[in-house]
Structure 1
Amino acid sequence: MFTALLEVVAIVGSGIVAGVFLAIAVSVLPALRALPADRYIDMHRRLGKGYHPIMPLTVNGGMFADLVLVFLAPVPARYLFAAAFVLMLGTQGVSHLANVPINKRIHAMDPAALTPDWDDPRPLWQNWHLLRTVLAVAALAVNAAGAALAAS
């Protein structure tokens, strides 16, 4: 029963992260890219407030459920949960090592003091975001496969 609960936590956690990141990639990012620099900075700040602390907690919840499942799930499924753990760890790593530092840089910018040749962080932020989106979607697929294998 505990293992089944952990499988649900892993799937729901990776599913929420994959869904939120995919929505950002296909809708929010194109809208942000279309904004003038000063409005982009303001909007980026506003959007970021809603993601903390819920997204890190969601990623960590799914990731740690995967880690425990590596030890508790039936042997063939353990390998899939181990892969999902690594994918979620990668998702978290990209967030903390790439996107968060860019976020801090954006938050330190003064929108009124931007020059026409400002260093636009959007392309780099988007590239890192797309990587973590792929990792999160892969984690969801692998978690679902692990749960299906564990149930068979």
Structure 2
Amino acid sequence: MLVQALGIVAIIGSGIVAGVFFAVAVSVLPTLTALPMGTYIPLHKELGKGYHPSMPLIVGAAVLADIGLVVVAPGTPVRVLSAAALLALVGVQIVSQFGNVPINRRVNAVDPESVPADWPDPRPLWRGWHRLRTAFALLALVANAAAVALAAAP
């Protein structure tokens, strides 16, 4: 029963993260990139308010579930897949904390009414970091799905 509960949390958590990140990558980012800087900055700030603190909490729940699966799951293949998912989710956290969050802070510190002329556009760098963490999130989802399928197999 514990393995099933942990598997559900791991799949739901990594699935939400992968889904949200995928949606941001294919829809939100192209829209933000098309906007003039004075419009982009306040929209970026508003979007960030919706993702914090919910996304870090969801990633954290999935991480804890994967730690649990590494410890209690039956069989080496399930544990290895859970460990792979765990590492991918840690990758999401590292990229977010050290790639995207510092850029968010820089954007939040700028007055959209008076953007300095020499202020570098943060969107290309933010997009690159976001793509990397999206890849990690998708990898975590696939590894978690495979682990849960193996754990449930007779």
The aligned counterpart of 2:41 is: 41
Q: Percent identity?
A: 57
In structure 2, the gaps of 5 or more residues are none
Q: Quick one: distance in 1 between partners of 2:120 and 2:51? A: 24
Structure 2 counterpart of 1:11? 11
* Residue in 2 that maps onto 1:78: 79
Write the distance in 2 (CA, Å) between the matches of 1:49 and 1:118.
23
Q: CA deviation at 1:2?
A: 1.1
RMSD: 0.8
Misfit runs of 4+, over 4 Å:
none
| Distance in 2 of aligned mates of 1:128 and 1:46 | 19
Give the aligned length: 152
Deviation readout 1:73-130 (Å, 9 max, x if unpaired): 0122000000000000000110011101110010001112214442100000000000
Which runs of 5 or more residues in structure 1 are unaligned?
Answer: none
Q: Which residue in 2 is equivalent to 1:127?
A: 128
Instruction: Measure, in 2, the Cα distance between the counterparts of 1:15 and 1:128.
Output: 19
Q: Structure 2-normalised TM-score?
A: 0.96
1:55 paired residue number: 55
Q: Which residue in 2 is equivalent to 1:29?
A: 29
CA–CA separation in structure 1 for the residues paired with 2:152 and 2:113: 57
The normalised TM-score by structure 1 is 0.98
Aligned partner of 1:108 in structure 2 is: 109
